[in-house]
Amino acid sequence: MFQISDNAAQVIAKMLDKNGLAGGGLRIGVKAGGCSGFSYVFDWESKPRDNDHVFEGPQGAKVFVDPRSLRVLDGTTLDYDTSLLSKGFIFQNPNAKSTCGCGTSFSV
């Protein structure tokens, strides 16, 4: 399971429209690396790949996750920070045992 907050859904819809990818989604994956062991990776895509898990959130926002990445992303909620100091996607990942200060890498 992967959940998408209202804030994240709004940004996903806006960016898909901006990139001419109506009906597409945000690909989220995990790769080895970063200061804590794993890093999140993003890409905008017009459609899911054959083995992808597709999660739909508010406003029809879609996130595509490959099966290998889902093992470490299962249970995650994707949010978007709109504070004055920073803007960006935030992962509330219950599988992350520790995260780095920038929030883009983690360990399990």
pLDDT score at 15:
95
Asked which of 11-20, 47-56, 77-86, 93-102 is least confident by mean pLDDT, the reply is 93-102
Reported confidence tier of residue 82, pLDDT bands at 50, 70, 90: confident
Edge-to-edge strand list for the sheet holding 88-92: 2-4, 76-81, 88-92
At residue 83 the predicted structure's pLDDT band, cuts being 50, 70 and 90, is confident
Q: What are the pLDDT digits (tens) for 20-57?
A: 998 999 999 998 876 667 888 999 999 999 999 999 99
Tell the residue number behind the tokens 């996903």, with chain if given. Answer: 12
